[in-house]
C-alpha cells in the first residue's frame, strides 16, 4: 500500500476530474460529498477490484489525527493534525436547524492581529483545497451527519482566506457544485481582515458568497496598532474594494468588529464607523473580545458594548452583539491557537 502522502488526494480533484467515467465518477462523488464515506470499504456499490485499484492510488482523508473538544454549549472544536504534522482547527456549531462550521484556510496566520491567539502563532502555511474541504467532511461524519446536512460554512477560523485565494476558491467551488456539497452561496461566508486585491478577485470570481469584513477600527491609526499588517492597505482602499464587491454582487456585507477596551470602543469610533458604511447595505456583528493567556488586551465592559451598539443603530447601521460560543474550550472567535483545553 502506497504511503498516504504519496497518493493523490481525491478532494484535491475537481469533481469532473475524479477517477472513473460517467456513472462511476458520479457514484464516487456521491460517496465522498453526499454520503461522506471515509473508507473505501463503505463504497459497497463500486466493484471490489476497482476499489482496490483506487485505494492504491488515491487517498480520501487529509488528516493523520483529529482530536474533538466538545464545549458545554454544544459546539465542538476539532484539532486536525495534517499529514505533514502541522495542525489546524475548525469549530462545529449546532445552532437550531442551522448546523454551521467555522473552518480554517491556513496553519496560523500572517496578519498578526494583537487580539487574536492565531495571530500570535505566526504563519505556518496555506491549507490545500483538500484540507479546507475535509474539515467539513470529517466534522459532519463525526457528528453522524451526511455532509450536506451542514448548511452553513464560515471561513473565519485560522488564517486570512484572501491570502490563499486559489485553494480557498477551489474549495468553495466544490462546496457549491451540485455533485459536491451542493450548498447555496448565501450560506457560505468568507471573512477577511481587508485585502483589497482579494476582495476584487472575489467580486470577479462569480462565486457569489457572502463577504464579512473585519475592520476592527474606523481609522487607520488605531487599525495599524492592532493589525500590524494593516499599514499595507489603508481603510479608504479597502472601502473602495468593498463598494465594488457590493456593486458587482448586490450582497449585503457583514461587518465583524472585535471590541477592545479603551482601544476601539469609544463613542467617536462608533460614529466614525457608521459614517464609513453610510449608503451601503451592511450588518454589523460586534464581538466581545474573548480572553486568552498572555493577551495584551482587555474586553470592553458589557455596558459599553451595548452603548456602542446603540450608537451604531442610531446612525442607521443594523447591529448585533455576537456573544461567542465555545469559550470554555478555546473555540471562540480569536481564540484558535491549537491549544488543548485543560
List interacting residues with ligand SF4 (CB under 6 A): 109, 111-113, 116, 118-119, 158-160, 193, 334
102 is in an annotated binding site: no
Three-state SS string across 69-137, please?
A: EECCCCCEEEEEEECCCCEEEEEEEEECCEEEEEECCEEECCCCCCCCHHHHHCEEEECCHHHHHHHHH
Note if 102 is an active site residue.
no
113 annotated ligand-binding residue = yes
Cβ 212 to ligand SF4 shortest distance, Å: 11
Please say which residue, 28 or 329, places its beta carbon nearer to ligand SF4: 329
Q: How far is the CB of 88 from ligand SF4 (least distance, A)?
A: 11
- Answer yes or no: is 293 a known binding residue: no
Nearer CB in complex with ligand SF4: 109/150: 109
Q: How far is the CB of 191 from ligand SF4 (least distance, A)?
A: 7
Q: Which is nearer to ligand SF4, 62 or 160 (CB)?
A: 160
d(CA 305, CA 324): 14
Q: Residue 119 Cβ, how far from ligand SF4 at the closest point, in Å?
A: 3
Nearer to ligand SF4, 143 or 285 (CB): 285
What are the DSSP calls for 294-308, one per residue? T-S--BPPHHHHHHH
d(CA 50, CA 57): 11
Helix (H) or strand (E) holding 155: strand 152-155
| Residue 216 annotated as binding site | yes
Work out the number of other CB atoms within 10 angstroms of the CB of residue 279: 8
Beta carbon of residue 72, minimum distance to ligand SF4 (angstroms, whole number) = 24
Distance CA 299, CA 291 (A): 7
Whether the CB-CB separation of 106 and 148 falls below 8 Å is answered with no
What is the DSSP-derived secondary structure letter of residue 326? Answer: -
Identified catalytic residue from 42, 53, 89, 256: 89
The residue assigned the cell 470554555 is: 328
Residue with Cβ nearer ligand SF4 (74 or 122): 122
Which residue in the shown chain puts its C-beta closest to ligand SF4? 119
Name the catalytic one among 62, 102, 131, 333.
Answer: 333
Active site residue 89: yes
Q: Are strands 106-108 and 123-126 parallel, antiparallel or unpaired?
A: antiparallel
Distance CA 326, CA 342 (A): 14
The continuous run of DSSP H or E covering 315 comes out as none
Annotated binding residues:
109, 113, 116, 159-160, 191, 214-216, 290
Annotated binding residues for [4Fe-4S] cluster:
109, 113, 116
Annotated binding residues for S-adenosyl-L-methionine:
159-160, 191, 214-216, 290
Residues labelled catalytic: 89, 333
Amino acid at each position: 500500500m502506497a504511503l498516504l502522502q504519496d497518493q493523490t488526494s481525491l478532494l484535491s480533484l475537481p469533481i469532473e476530474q475524479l477517477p472513473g467515467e460517467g456513472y462511476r465518477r458520479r457514484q464516487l462523488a456521491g460517496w465522498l460529498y453526499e454520503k461522506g464515506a471515509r473508507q473505501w470499504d463503505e463504497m459497497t456499490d463500486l466493484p471490489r477490484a476497482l476499489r482496490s485499484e483506487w485505494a492504491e492510488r488515491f487517498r480520501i482523508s487529509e488528516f493523520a489525527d483529529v482530536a474533538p473538544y466538545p464545549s458545554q454549549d454544544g459546539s465542538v472544536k476539532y484539532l486536525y493534525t495534517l499529514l505533514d504534522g502541522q495542525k489546524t482547527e475548525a469549530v462545529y456549531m449546532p445552532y437550531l436547524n442551522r448546523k454551521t462550521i467555522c473552518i480554517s484556510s491556513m496553519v496560523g496566520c500572517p496578519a498578526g492581529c494583537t487580539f487574536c491567539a492565531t495571530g500570535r502563532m505566526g504563519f505556518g502555511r496555506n491549507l490545500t483545497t483538500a484540507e479546507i474541504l475535509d474539515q467539513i467532511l470529517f466534522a459532519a461524519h463525526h457528528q453522524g451527519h451526511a455532509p450536506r446536512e451542514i448548511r452553513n460554512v464560515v471561513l473565519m477560523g485560522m488564517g486570512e482566506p484572501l491570502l490563499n485565494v486559489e485553494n480557498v476558491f477551489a474549495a468553495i467551488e466544490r462546496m457549491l457544485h451540485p455533485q459536491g456539497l451542493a450548498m447555496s452561496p448565501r450560506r457560505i461566508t468568507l471573512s477577511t481582515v481587508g485585502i483589497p486585491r482579494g476582495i476584487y478577485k472575489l467580486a470577479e470570481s462569480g462565486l457569489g458568497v457572502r463577504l464579512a469584513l473585519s475592520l476592527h477600527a474606523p481609522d487607520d491609526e488605531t487599525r495599524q496598532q492592532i493589525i500590524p499588517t494593516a499599514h499595507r492597505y489603508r481603510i479608504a482602499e479597502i472601502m473602495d474594494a468593498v463598494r465594488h464587491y457590493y456593486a458587482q454582487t448586490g450582497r449585503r456585507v457583514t461587518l465583524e468588529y472585535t471590541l477592545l477596551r479603551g482601544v476601539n470602543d469609544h463613542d467617536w469610533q462608533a460614529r466614525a464607523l457608521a459614517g464609513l458604511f453610510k449608503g451601503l447595505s451592511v450588518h454589523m456583528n460586534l464581538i466581545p473580545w474573548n480572553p486568552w493567556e498572555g493577551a495584551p488586551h482587555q474586553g470592553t465592559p458589557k455596558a459599553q458594548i451595548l452603548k456602542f451598539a446603540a450608537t451604531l443603530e442610531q446612525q442607521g447601521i443594523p447591529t448585533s452583539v455576537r456573544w461567542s460560543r465555545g469559550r470554555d474550550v478555546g473555540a471562540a472567535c480569536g481564540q484558535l491557537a491549537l491549544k488543548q483545553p485543560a
